[in-house]
Structure 1
Amino acid sequence: MIIPSSYPVQGIIYFLGHPQLITNLICPILFTIIWAIGVLIFGFAYLLQLQAHALIRANCPAGVAWFVSVIFVLLEIAVMIVLFYLIILPIYQDGLFDRVLKLRGLRHVLDKSQGNDIAKCMRGVNGGLFLAFCQIVVLILTLPLNLIPILGQILYAFINGWILTFGVRFHYDAEIRNISVAQSRREAWKRRSEYSGFGSVAVALEMIPIANLLFMWTNIVGCALWVADEIEREERRHQQQVAQDIAARNNNISNVNNNTNSNVIGYNTNVIGYGAAGSSAWDPSGMDSTATVSPPISNSQQQKDSGGLVQQKGSSWSFFGRSSSRNQDPQPIA
């Protein structure tokens, strides 16, 4: 049984149990660290002085101006790092998704989806822009829910979970299943309870500070495991259907053969019965098949038989006083 809400946790376990998946994280993490160092230097070397001097010229006390400027710079650095991380995340999450499918033995699914890379790229770009817009809008609209203790955060995770799952699974829909953005969106809405179940747990994990940098990747692994289980279930169902069709076809062929053999055996039995009967035989001259066959009689017996009406020549068979030979002429008995 597939329970979507359990796959984010399964993704953590699977990720930790397969160290080879860590190699997919080396490049994005390395690029993020390099970007963070560059942004940090730029922020404190240029932005800090620029903002502090601007506040001082606005008649703000120097101490307060520098203190506020440091806070602003830290926030700006954090925002730029997160934005950069979110930009490169889709680039590498597709590779991680495909890697999990290969480890699950579903390479043939990826091989079938190869081809027409330009169309896939355009579909991916359009879908990515649409998802980015939706995520930003939903995030802004649901952000005030966090002001409500417990219940607000649960609602926030549940609502944002649907769009997060839609975004993670879009690679599978657009580039592996080769369906359009509209079809993917309709399916996501049709299965919104499953998507929200997976996404609510995934969003809750990503709300944990610092650890969310890891959970962003394990959620992708969990989604890939979810898709892999669905693919394997459909393949088993297809194999069972094929096996049932083959069994039904073989059963029909066997029934036809049995009926044919029964007809042949019945026909042979009838033929043998006709040949073995001593009191009835088939008249090759067109006579009645129920005619009684009498044994041949000699000429002397024919002459002594006062009740005989027809005398046969030779030793031919007679049927009710008729000669079986049509060329014989009846002779009266003297």
Structure 2
Amino acid sequence: MLGHPSLFKHLICPILLTIIWGIAVFIFGFAYLLKIQAHALIRANCPAAVAWIVCIIFVLLEVGVLSILFYLIILPIYQDGLFDRVLKLRGFRHVLKKNEGNDLIKCMRGVSGGLWILLFQILVLIITLPVNLIPILGQMIFATVNGWVLTFSLRFHYDAEIRDISVLQSRREAWQRRSEYTGFGAIAVGLEMIPLANILFVWTNIVGAALWVADEIEEKEERMQQEQAAQSLMGPGRISPEGSYPAAYPSQQNAEQYSLQQPIYPPHYQQQHATSFAQPSTDPFALQGSARIPPKDKKHPDVY
């Protein structure tokens, strides 16, 4: 990201939008919600001082929750844009153009799959949160378990909207490659656990996932080029559909079809022009220019 400042626009825009949304919710909460909640507690026979203090805490929590939800909603949009931008900078614009089309279907798959992954992330996060009470070892376990889920979510845009595969196929592949996913994700979760710096690491982890995908695409294209080069060096020689003769020589079936296509002339005309009516040889070795072995038995020339 430091080498390509254009990537920061994907980071700045959602943060500014979240800040604006948070300020708006903060003003709305203290100007409207605070009075409603405080009066409701006072009518419920709660002391006025306690009611106002409790409502201030409630409003702050509500502002925080609404801001986080807003950030989580708009984050995937800018994450996908940052992911695609990294692929373009690596020279894989053709990969993105190749998979364009059916945007509505891909968008619906991405939204539904993204919501499912988000719920799964929250569930795993809640279950594994108590292990952080164990010093050092607990954080390692937490990062390892949540790492696989985080990597799955970071690469899901590539699977669902670029490779055009289903959520089930993406999950199956992620589980088959769980050692790679966990290794990448454990470091990513560890970086996101650093206070304040995690605001930046959330985005650099996306860049890292995109660079990982770009390396895989590059290796795949190099392998395909090597296979094509190997096929071109093999030459045009191929086995014919009949399976008996090379494609360059006529097979028995082709010879019969050739003979049926010739016009019929009277016998005396064919004798006068015998050389012109010579049928193509069905011998696969006749066109190779190799000498034939003379017959041993002159009385029976067909026996060799």
Q: Shorter-chain TM-score category?
A: 0.7 to 0.9
- Output aligned runs, 1:203-218, within 5 Å: 203-218=189-204
Name 1:92's counterpart in structure 2. 78
1:184 is displaced (CA, Å) by 0.4
Does 2:86 align with 1:103?
A: no
1:133 is displaced (CA, Å) by 2.0
Name 2:161's counterpart in structure 1. 175
**Partner SS for 1:249:** coil
Distance 1:177 1:52, change over 3 A: same
Name 2:105's counterpart in structure 1. 119
Distance 1:222 1:58, change over 3 A: farther
After superposition, give the CA deviation of every residue in 1:205-231 in whole Å (9 maximum; x if it has no partner): 222222222221111111100000011
Misfit runs of 4+, over 6 Å: none
After superposition, give the CA deviation of every residue in 1:270-304 in whole Å (9 maximum; x if it has no partner): xxxxxxxxxxxxxxxx9xxxxxxxxxxxxxxxxxx
**d(CA) in 1 for partners of 2:132, 2:37:** 30
**Partner SS for 2:32:** helix
Listed as ranges, the gaps of 5+ residues in structure 2 are: 239-284, 292-297, 299-304
**d(CA) in 1 for partners of 2:198, 2:69:** 14
Q: How many residues align?
A: 248
**Partner SS for 1:209:** coil
**d(CA) in 2 for partners of 1:61, 1:153:** 43
After superposition, give the CA deviation of every residue in 1:160-193 in whole Å (9 maximum; x if it has no partner): 1111111111110011101111100100111111
Distance 1:47 1:148, change over 3 A: farther
- Code of the aligned partner of 1:248: M
**d(CA) in 1 for partners of 2:183, 2:39:** 50
**d(CA) in 2 for partners of 1:211, 1:69:** 31
TM-score by length of 1: 0.67
Name 1:82's counterpart in structure 2. 68
Name 2:118's counterpart in structure 1. 132
> Identity of aligned pairs, percent?
67
**Considering only aligned residues, what root-mean-square deviation do their CA atoms show, in Å?**
3.0
1:99 is displaced (CA, Å) by 0.5
- Code of the aligned partner of 1:243: A
Greater Rg, structure 1 or structure 2? 1
1:60 is displaced (CA, Å) by 4.3
Distance 1:187 1:73, change over 3 A: same
Name 2:32's counterpart in structure 1. 46
Name 2:205's counterpart in structure 1. 219
Distance 1:231 1:154, change over 3 A: same
**d(CA) in 1 for partners of 2:37, 2:190:** 35
**d(CA) in 1 for partners of 2:198, 2:12:** 16
Listed as ranges, the gaps of 5+ residues in structure 1 are: 1-14, 253-259, 268-285, 287-334
- Code of the aligned partner of 2:168: A
